[in-house]
Amino acid sequence: MPGTPRERSSSPLVSPDPGPPPSLEWARTILDSIADGVFTVDPNFRITFFNKAAERITGVPAQDALGRPCCEVFRANICETACALRHTMETGKAVVEQAVAILNAENREVPISISTALLKDDAGRTVGGVETFRDLTDVETLRREIHKKYRFGDILSKAPAMQRLFTILPQIAQSESTVLIQGESGTGKEVLARTIHSLSRRAKGPFVAVNCGALPDTLLESELFGHVAGAFTDAKRDRSGRFALAEGGTLFLDEIGDVSAALQVRLLRVLEERVYEPLGSSKSCKANVRIIAASNKDLEQLVEEGLFRKDLFYRINVVKLWLPPLSQRREDIPLLVNHFVDRFNRLQNKKIYGLSHEALQIFMTHDWPGNIRELENAVEHAFILCREGWIRPEHLPEHLQKVRAGFEPPRGWSLEDIEKRAIWEALERNQWKRMATARELGIDKNTLRRKILRHGLDSLIPPHGRKSSPTPHSPNPAP
C-alpha cells in the first residue's frame, strides 16, 4: 500500500522545503569556487566584486581591486578605445568570448577571453555590469607549439607536400649541389632559397639575390660578373658583380628562365669551371659560390622549345624543388594569415585579432593567383583600413570584396562548411581518387571516407571521372 501523505513527504524523491533564497555570501562562495575570473562594476566602472580566479589570473588581491576603475586593474589592450564592458553598459548588448590581452601585476601580458552582461535590480534598472574572463595562456602556448610544428626556418605550412619538403631540406642545405626551385610567382621561392642558405655550411657567408628577368641582357651581364673601367660608356671605374659579392656564400638567380641564350653560355661555364671574367677583362676570377636558381616557368618545356639550353638545364637541375601554389594548399591560409597579422601588429603597433568569420570565408574561397604575396598584400591592405578588433570584409581589397558579392551563402560558412569545401576541392584535384586525396590532406583513408559521408559528398562522386562532378556553389549541398 502506498504510504500516508506524511510518509510520502519524507521520501527522498520529494524536494525539501527550499527555505529562504541564497544569501549574498552564498553567491560569493559559488563565484569563488569557479575557475573563470569574475568581477562586477558599478555604473562608474568601479569594481564591486572580484573573485578568487580573478585574483589568480591578474595577480591583484581583491582588497586592492575593489573600488578602483577596472581599466586600472586590467590595463587591457581595449580599455581606452574599445572597452567591451562599456559597450555592454551603453548598448545593452552582451559580448561573448572576445579575445583580448591584459597586463598582470607583474606587467606580463596575459591573453584572456572575456564575456560581459548587464546587472539589473529587481525593478529592471541597470545597476552595473559583470564580466567573466578565462585565462588563455595554455591555449596560446599550445597554439605556438603547433605553429612551431608547421614552421621550417621562415617557411610556414601544414600541407603534406610542404611537410615532405621540410624533411629533406636539411640534407639539401648541407650539400654543395646546385638547387633549382620551381613554382608560380609569389609562392616563396626566395624565402626557400634563404632558408637553404641559412641551414648550409655557408650560412656565415653572404646571400646575394638577383632577378634575372628584371634587367636587360647587357646590364645583367655586368650585374652578375662585374666590369672593369672602360668596358663600356660611363664605365669609369671597376665594379664588382654579384658573383664576387657572393664569394663564400650563396647566389640566388631568380627567374633564370628569362636569361638570353648568349648569357646562358657564360653561366654554364661558371657552373662547370667555377671561373668567370668581368666584362671587359681577360683575367679569370674564381667563383667560390653556391648557386640556387629559380623560375616560374617550366624549364623542361623551354628546353623542348629551344628557348633554354639543355646542358645548362641539366647543370642547374641537380636538385629540383617544387613549391605548390596556394590554391593547392588552402589549409595553410589560416596559418599564413595569423603569421602576417602577428607581423603587422608588431610593425604597426596595433592589436588586430585576426579575420572575422566572413573575411575568412572570402580568403578560403579565393583562388589566390598571386599566391602568398597576394595574401600578404591583402592582409596589409586590411591593416590600413582596420583600426582595431577583427578584420571584416569591408577592410579587404576591392577584388576580394567582389568574391564576397559573387558568393553569398545564406548565413555564412561554418568550419564544417570550410572543411567540406576543402575536401571537395582535394577530391577534384585528385580525380576523386581517395587514397591520393587522403595523402594530400594528411589524413587516413578511413577518416576521409567518414568525412565524405558526413558531408554528403558521396552524392557528388562522378561515375566516369572528374569532369562530370558538379561544382558546389553553396554550403548546401556542398560549400
DSSP assignment letter at 469:
S
Question: Sign of dihedral through CA atoms 129, 134, 136, 137?
Answer: positive
One digit per residue, pLDDT tens: the chain, 479 residues? 444 444 444 444 344 455 555 556 777 888 888 889 999 999 999 999 999 999 999 999 999 999 999 999 998 877 877 788 888 988 888 888 787 888 898 888 888 888 999 998 888 888 899 999 988 887 666 666 655 667 777 788 888 889 899 999 999 999 999 999 999 999 999 999 999 999 999 999 999 999 998 888 778 888 899 877 766 667 668 888 899 999 999 999 999 999 998 899 999 999 999 998 888 777 888 999 999 999 999 999 999 999 999 999 999 999 999 999 998 898 899 889 988 998 898 888 887 888 887 888 889 888 899 999 999 999 999 999 998 778 889 999 988 887 654 444 434 556 677 778 778 877 877 778 888 888 777 788 888 888 888 877 776 665 544 444 444 444 443 44
Give me the torsion for CA of 192, 195, 196, 200, rounded to 10°.
170
Query: Is there a cis peptide before residue 324, judged by omega within 30 degrees of 0?
Result: no
Give, for 136, the enclosing helix (H) or strand (E): none
* Domains, in order of start, for the chain: 24-140 (3.30.450.20), 150-324 (3.40.50.300), 327-406 (1.10.8.60)
CA angle 217, 222, 227 (to 5 degrees): 150
Q: How many residues belong to the chain?
A: 479
Give, for 267, the enclosing helix (H) or strand (E): helix 261-273
Structure pTM? 0.59
Q: What is the rounded distance in angstroms from the CA atom of residue 343 to the CA atom of residue 2?
A: 74
